[in-house]
Chains A and B, each alone.
Chain A
Amino acid sequence: MQKKQHFPDHQWSGFKKLLLVMKLTTFLLFLSVMGMAANTYAQGTRFDLNVKNATVIQVFDEIERVTEFGFLFKTDQMDLSKHYTLDIKDANIENILDEVLSKDQYSYNLIDKNIVITKVNVNTIQDEKSVKVSGKVTDQGGLPIPGATVVVKGTTTGVVTDSNGTYSLSNIPANATLQFSFVGMKTQDIKVGNQTVINVVIEESSIGIEEVVAVGYGVQRKSDLAGSVGIADADQILKYSSFSALQALKGKVAGVNIFTNSGNPSGNTRVIIRGVNSINTSSNPLYVVDGVQMSDFQFVNPNDIERVEVLKDASAAAIYGARGANGVILVTTKRGSGEGQGTTVSYNGWVSLGVLAKKVDLMDSNEFMQMQDIGFANFSKYSQSKNSAGLTVDRSDPLLFDAQGNPLYNTDWQDEATRDVISHNHQFSIQQQSKGSSVGAFLNYTDQEGIMLNSYMKRLNGKITYDADPTPWLSTGINLMVNHVWANDLDETGGGQTARRTMWEMPPIIPVRFPDGSWSNSQFTGNKLNVGLEAMSNPVHELTTRKMNRYKTKIFGNTSLTFHILEGLDFKTQMGLDANLNTDKNFSPNDLINISSPNGSANISTYDSYFWQEESFLTYMKVSNKHRINALAGMSWSQQTVATSNTGTVSGFATNFFGYDNLGAGTIPSAPSSDWNRWAMNSYFVRGSYTYNDKYLATVTARVDGSSRFGLNNHYGFFPSAALGWVISNENFLKDKSWLNSLKLHTSYGRTGSSEISVYSTLATINSGTVLMNGTRGASTYVDRLANPDLKWEKTDQFDFGFNLSMLDRRINLDLDYYYKLTSDLLLARPIPYITGFSSVIDNIGEVSNRGIDILLTTTNVKARNFTWESTVNINYNTNRIEKLGANNEDILTNPGFVGGNVILRVGESLSSFYGYRRLGIWGSSEAAEAAKVGAVPGQAKRSTEREILGKGLPNWTGSFINTFNYKNWDFTVDLQFVAGVDTWQLYMHSMEDRSGIANGFSTILYNGWTENNQNTMVQQIRQQNYSGQDSQADSHWVSDGSYIRGNLIQLGYTFDNNTLTRFGLKKLRGYASVSNAFLIDSKDFKGYDPEATSNNDQFGQNIFFYQYPRPRTFTFGVNLSF
């Protein structure tokens, strides 16, 4: 606490006054907390004071200069005309104040080093019989309230309570009434009468400083909340200097699991709230931004976000009915108000350096050749071909080897394909609030470079808000955001030889370019190397010449009108839109082997979606005595249309000159395509919340949703919920427990839905295309699915029970929730016998459950004058289980179907379970006969005969441990994030270890591979795949523990104090430096960059991947500035 803040120069006295009026009590509350340390300064400190002809303020300034005291007073109560000349030696503060302040006019109160001065109005009391009254002011929990105002009603005479909540007033008339007040509390009047000690318990008032929480179509006091809502604010989000708000949310809200599956700037982020509910439909939560449902949320500018609320349980989410089952993320964006009256201009910016965080251990040139030699030596053991016996590696190619046969090059492809990158972000905002209206304008530019060559994502984002209250009965608001993102992506799916794979597999003996300047590849013409390299374009060549450009434009906004009909009764109508215009342009040149040679390829596709919604609702809020009512009723219409088009992949380009800009130059076109679809919803919803005596809470919600996506027979669904809360700490038996600040138990039960089936799923439709008929395209049609007019939404029934505990002066806060979710009527591609000619019909069959615990523990570990240490632990434990499947509980095998590996859906197991063979070891020399029975020889993998479940990709434990330290103006954050109880399936082991000779691989094959002398290993013997084949099946050897601890963020910040800032005309200035992804601790069996990844974007594929885009370590420097 800086005293200067409260004693500005004269010219700021107006501000000082305001400060006093507005914030005195808050300030005193804070002081009293700070004053937990012993208050011995006032007594112990002696000093000299020497002023000549000074005003009282100059006197105080001088005291403050030579001591650590600070003063609080109202300038209009001080006699500023009086001048003092003082020369006092070795006095304590009380001596001096007695000298300066006329005792009959002023009283003062010492709270730690702060002195509060109040004027005593002598005139009103001089004729009355005077008494002295003292006492203590406490809250309902029995805690003292420092800084409460005690005045003699009808006068200006009064005092404020000290740090112990006590006060003392003398010379007041016996017939007086004392008025006790404190911000956020109900004011109480008490007649003095004969009392000399008056102790007062003051209660919270219905409106006040209490935190409010957005709950969908409105707000609720946090203390009245019976449902489960997680919160993150702008400061938490912006600390992370990330392109995407979702990445910044990671680890901030218990139960919200955010998977950053790639280091690619345009890579996907996956959000799962309280486990995956669904098998076939999306597990993404519903995003509602300023009341409007939004798609593609990950591209939204995080700097625009003021606050995020996550509706987790049924009570909170059921107001969104058929779209609420995956949880709802409510986002409130910044507006014109919020920074006080007047105009505030802010700039937030950062610049960051990204580097490759880890390199994997690949064979270098010498190791690679050594592996080849061993592979050739093992020919006769594995090969049935006679001709290969005795063959040796041909080292005569002068492009690769010197005269002695030593490799000329030792290329580190990980280094070559990646780079250190600089990214930056700039956010300008202008916020102006005046009486009756406010306006905000926000502009953002972000340039994020990816560490793999040529990958980037950039964003230009503008947002304007205007809020006005033109008449007493009408409030209006408008919000418009335009966001344009452009990026160069790279291939992150599939098994092809693209950069993220070839940066590991490209042999180190090959240079990036040959001496003549031409790009290398693994199969250059005339190559004499007889090892049979698999076809690979070199990753540098690919990354620098291939284009996968993405253009996304989002226009998003809403207008609202709120009619204040009666006291507490409002009618709000809001129209919102979300338009997304996306164009993908791809080009791959004609010289990338195994990608697009010899014909090249290009295509352009568009995806345009238009969504609008109209929602109108009545809200009613009523507080009377012990009853508090908050009610809502409304209706909603929404519609989305999506139009897509694709030119089809055009190839046959004679030149790479045109890229994708002249598709007509390609001689081999393919059929173009386009598609259009629409869905619409019409909904009605109500909510009622009731609080009795701040102890008993109840909330009931219900929504009826009609969706065009549902079958004719089931257009409308009903989604109710109910929640109860009990604030036990307000009961008499706990009221007096001084260690307890608050304790609330709450429970809820309700139903939400998921309507995320593809459009027209209920209809049998004819698929139309073309087939080759006599050299030309003949029309071709077939019925592509069975009709199911009974199709309806998935429903999730969720039970939640939890408590919010705050204790020890609110230094320990614990929120704990247990939940059980059962999703039934799963919209499942119900397997039907293939004899029908169809493989499945979309039907409501199957059940999945999720149960778990969310824990959020925030503690203030140290709270000293200059130093605080706060910790947040947030943990989600979740178990996922498939309860029923199909008509006969059939297993369903899904992606990736790669060399015997699948994800299996099986009753009793978690979603994302890995299904493959178990590797029991390597066949030993003594087991030759046994091995022969399965067609193997010693040195090959010994596997189980049947496939089994080898692990699962969805974690049981996710969470974070965030520590914030504040020392004077410095702040320091250490954010650790962890995941446990999860596995990772490293499909790249197929070509990195089980298959050798035709590409580079892990050095483990060379050092841990089976030999006669090293039989106790899990790594197969080196065999040259090209001549001796391979033995590669997706098995348990490829599965590693997927748990990790990540140094998510380490940040050091410095906030300049206001006094310094005001000299420069600034309001706020903070600078910081941080490291994100600072370190990663993972399983020793995990060989890749990061165990959290996926090669599939569907929900089955978590933690199963072939190769991955490495995640960078990022060093950031940033500044937040406003004036």
Chain B
Amino acid sequence: MKQILYYGLLSLSLIGLNSCNGFLKEEPRSQISASQFYATPADATSAVNNLYKSGFPSFYDAGSAYMGPTVMYGGYISGLFDNQYKGQEKFVQDCQNLAIDPVVDNGNLLSIWQNCYVAIGRANNAIKYIPTTPDLSTAEASKLVSEARFFRALNYFHLVKMFGGVPLIVEPYEAIENLYIEKSSEADVYNLVVTDLISAIEQGGLTDAPMPKNGFRISKGSVSALLADVYLNISGYPLNAGKYAEAATVAKSLINNSAYSLIANGSTPEESAYNVLRTSDIQNEYLYVIEYNSTISNGGWRPTFCFPNEAATWGEFTYSISNNAYRPVAQILSAYDKTNDLRAQEKQYFHTKYTFTKGNRKGETITFSDVTPYFWFEPEALYSTNISQKDQTHYRLSEMYLIAAEAVAQTTGVNAESAGYLATIKARASMNKTKEEITTELLALTKDEFIKEVWKEKIRELIFENKIWNDITRTRMYPTTSNGVFTFVPIIGAQNPWGKTFAVKNLLLPFPNEEIQRNPKLIQNTGY
């Protein structure tokens, strides 16, 4: 008996020592190893799809009722937009006090920095591997690569506008090496942006159509809109690269393309172009939009930015919190001609009153303490579903008119062409003047007056579309009021509505402290 036992033990230990080789091998089932990816055309498409919601596009997601989404930071930094909950949102206070600090505001700074680089990294990956994906046609590959280039450019453009020169990463990271990179010059960053966009336009084979009519994929129009904006920006500070002609050319390529058109006003105030913009997701005016819907990707708390915070207690809305999170201050509102500008009328871009729809206050109308955006008013979300579905426009054809107006004026002066572009936009918003009348008025302006009128019109037209800080930094002019009259003053030395004076350092954000700690080669921006 004992012999059996010994042999048993011996064989058992032999089994043990020669244990199966695969026992300690990792074989994930619910994740794919990176080395197995880019194996099919579908892999390539899905990698590019991801970019539609990574980095800059995600800055439109309104995840909190208290803090505006990241795309609104420019407005806060300008001091021209206030947030009712700023008592608990220190970043808004620091913006208004011109006291943004790389340590204190690290988290908010990172939300820009980190997410842009995440998207850039993913775009780099797509740009590198899509061309070699098996079974992917060259045409399809170049289209996908062009989309990826658009997103890489979009994120770099935002980074360079907010932070100035940043490290330029054009290859995907695939190993723990080469981690510490110095920042490149702003010119180098813009070079990459322009190169990517030109490549996308020229080799992309992209459809020339409004984005909503291109299956909500990046179209040639989207790329052109971004490129026009980039040319406009590099023509101003700090590069002063003199690309107004190029900006004009690209903007005009859209204006003159019948695939794109401005929304026309309807017959009632509810059908104005601005209310169509608020309610409609599919228009020929839309060049680049961020898509939202109810089940897959909703817009979060955005509709609640249309009401002061006491509105949450009225029992009117499905949302439990409301916050006037992006309130334009008085001096920027003074850009509007309150009597003649359609956009400044009640229930166009703004509202100041609310009439109760139910309960024992039904029919009662109250007036808000402050002017409040109407731009994101979504009745269905507010009254029944609690789910915001409205797409957000980042580039519209109307902005191209304004870019063209300014770029043409900069290159060929105030003339019928430049005045015409500006007048088109002004006329749509004018309650008592024709385009011709406006053109005539504009032709009487000096070049400087005309360009400032473009800037002013840009504020009026795109007040809730987050252009303000880009325009302030490229023009280095600050919108303010002098004796109650709207005007522009040089940003350096200008006072914001909170009594703080801009210095040169305030034109750029500091790099987040965490990144400075992580990357010893990254030198902090001057003044921080």
- Residues in chain A within 8 A of chain B (CB atoms): 383, 385-388, 473, 497, 522-535, 563, 565, 571, 573, 593-594, 597-599, 616, 635, 637, 639, 668-670, 674-682, 706-709, 715, 759-760, 762-768, 770-784, 786-788, 831-839, 841, 843, 886, 888, 890-891, 893, 897, 899-900, 934-935, 945-947, 990, 995, 1025-1027, 1029-1033
Contacts and interface: CB of A to CB of B under 8 A. Distances in A.
Given A523-B320, A616-B16, A787-B34, 12 more contacts: A599-B387, A637-B19, A639-B23, A682-B19, A762-B26, A765-B33, A774-B217, A782-B50, A835-B515, A893-B106, A995-B88, A1033-B88
Contact of A765 (B24, B28, B43): B28
B295 A832 contact: no
A833 B296 contact: no
Given A523-B313, A841-B176, A682 B87 contact: no
B354 interface: no
Given A765-B28, A837-B120, A774 B320 contact: no
Given A563-B5, A786-B175, A833 B50 contact: no
| Among all A-B residue pairs, the 6 with the closest Cβ atoms | A837-B121, A526-B359, A535-B320, A385-B369, A594-B320, A525-B315
Contacts of A715: 24
A565 B16 CA distance: 20
Given A833-B179, A837-B121, A777 B296 contact: yes
9 contacts: A385-B369, A497-B320, A565-B5, A637-B19, A682-B24, A766-B36, A772-B296, A782-B50, A837-B173
Interface string B387-413: 100000000000000000000000000
A775 B104 CA distance: 39
A676 B50 contact: no
A682 B87 CA distance: 56
Nearest to B110: A834
B415 interface: no
Nearest to B96: A935
Nearest to A385: B369
A386 B358 CA distance: 27
B113 A834 contact: yes
Given A473-B2, A535-B320, A899 B88 contact: yes
Nearest to B500: A935
Interface string B362-394: 100001111000000000000011110000000
Contact of A780 (B50, B90, B309, B520): B50
B344 interface: no
Contact of B24 (A708, A843, A890, A899): A708
A387 B2 contact: no
A777 B295 CA distance: 10
Nearest to B330: A384
Nearest to B369: A385
B485 interface: no
Given A526-B361, A597-B318, A786-B173, A763 B26 contact: yes
A1029 B86 contact: yes
A832 B518 contact: yes
Interface of B: 1-2, 5-6, 9, 12-13, 16, 19, 23-37, 42-43, 45-47, 49-50, 52-54, 84-88, 90, 93, 96-97, 99, 103-104, 106-107, 110, 113-114, 117-118, 120-122, 124-125, 166-167, 169, 172-176, 179-181, 215-217, 291-297, 309-310, 312-316, 318, 320-321, 358-362, 367-370, 384-387, 498, 512, 514-515, 517-520, 522
Contacts of B88: 899, 990, 995, 1030, 1032-1033
Nearest to B320: A535
A674 B30 contact: yes
Nearest to A783: B34
A827 to B, nearest CB: 15
B323 to A, nearest CB: 11
Q: B87, B90, B118 — which one has the most chain A CB atoms within 10 A of its CB?
A: B87
Contact of B46 (A531, A779, A834): A779
Given A526-B315, A534-B312, A1029 B87 contact: yes
A835 B1 contact: no
B423 to A, nearest CB: 35
Nearest to B36: A766
A769 to B, nearest CB: 8
A935 B500 CA distance: 10
B6 to A, nearest CB: 8
Given A668-B295, A715-B24, A834-B110, A768 B87 contact: no
B295 A670 contact: yes
B104 A947 contact: yes
A835 B514 contact: no
Nearest to A618: B9
A203 B20 CA distance: 51
B174 A764 contact: yes
B517 A680 contact: no
A756 B167 CA distance: 35
A606 B322 CA distance: 36
Nearest to A933: B97
Which of A565, A772, A832 has the most chain B CB atoms inside 10 A of its CB?
A772
Nearest to B54: A782
Nearest to A497: B320
B315 A387 contact: no
A388 B308 CA distance: 12
Contacts of A679: 26
Nearest to B90: A900
B498 A527 contact: no
Contacts of B520: 888
B49 A771 contact: yes
B315 A779 contact: no
A958 B521 CA distance: 45
Contacts of A760: 26, 28, 31
A835 B386 contact: no
B310 A532 contact: yes
Given A523-B315, A680-B24, A947-B104, A771 B30 contact: no
Given A680-B24, A893-B514, A1032-B88, A529 B313 contact: yes
B32 A678 contact: no
A889 to B, nearest CB: 8
Contact of B104 (A388, A533, A670, A946): A946
B165 to A, nearest CB: 13
A780 B46 contact: yes
A1021 to B, nearest CB: 13
Nearest to B517: A890
Contacts of B29: 676-677
B314 A773 contact: no
A56 B53 CA distance: 98
A195 B84 CA distance: 103
Contacts of A764: 33-35, 174
Contacts of A890: 514, 517-518
A1029 B85 contact: yes
A597 B387 CA distance: 11
Contact of A771 (B23, B296, B362): B296
B1 A473 contact: yes
A3 B359 CA distance: 83
A895 to B, nearest CB: 12
A772 B291 contact: yes
B291 to A, nearest CB: 5
Contacts of B84: 1029
A261 B19 CA distance: 43
Contacts of B117: 834-837
Contacts of B174: 764, 786-787
A676 B121 contact: no
A832 B314 contact: no
A561 B120 CA distance: 60
Contacts of A594: 320-321
A530 B310 contact: yes
A713 to B, nearest CB: 13
Nearest to B386: A598
A706 B359 contact: no
Nearest to B519: A833
A173 to B, nearest CB: 47
